[in-house]
Structure 1
Amino acid sequence: MQGYVLFAHGSRDPLWRLPIEAVATRMREQLASSMLGGNDSAPPPVACAYLELMEPTLATCVDALKAQGVRDFTIVPMFLGQGRHAREDLPELVVELQARHPGLRFALRPAVGEDPEIVDALARLILR
């Protein structure tokens, strides 16, 4: 089973997580609506994980999704750029996860902010 993990930095402010969780909620809605009428299986789970200052950590998140049957993980860094956390810290965490869970597959996406669609959407938002 496929699962998605939105990976973000984290903050001491509990409200900071709301935009990340809003993206996860919207993904769940889109996945559910895309499966209506065509498939009896549940949509892939979507979860959030944080590097620091918030729970769950990436390892805790992967453990929880694994318990739900997820074997293929798509990890999406919710960063505007490919800074040190996305370039170094996150790949190291994924290597550790792969060592702990050799039967699982992990696909690491680039930072969302580097996608041309996101850049275009941000520019339109700022200019309106």
Structure 2
Amino acid sequence: MKGYVKDLEGVAVENEDFRRVLYTAKNCQLVVMALKPKEDIGMEVHQLDQFFHVKEGSGVALVDGVSTAIRPGFAVLVPAGTQHNIINTGTVALKLYTLYAPPNHRDGVIHHTRADAQADHEHFNGQTTES
């Protein structure tokens, strides 16, 4: 396989894991996420750019202190160094995909729950999907 060519919308909607790394290239990484009702990713700041696209559910994007309601079709671009959080404010899972540029997580990592993600202090180790 060279690159990632799949029905990303279908993969994102079917995903039940808090975080699942789908593909890691040298300069970016594709990840799907599912946030349970009232769950959030946690306030964070990365030294990389991050893009989110909402596929299902509803929530709030907090970016640099500004709160914006989000729903399917919404995109959120978070520049490096910006404090941010995504919160599910709805009653069903908030399904989304995110791109990190450059990669942020170990290739192929799966965190079934937010607690799993918090307990795992993993970071991108330089290995790409097709290394």
- For the criterion TM > 0.5, the same-fold answer is no
Structure with bigger RCO (C-alpha 8 Å, 6+ apart): 2
Structure holding more strand per residue: 2
Structure number, greater radius of gyration? 1
Superposition TM-score, scaled by structure 2 size: 0.28
Superposition TM-score, scaled by structure 1 size: 0.28
Structure holding more helix per residue: 1
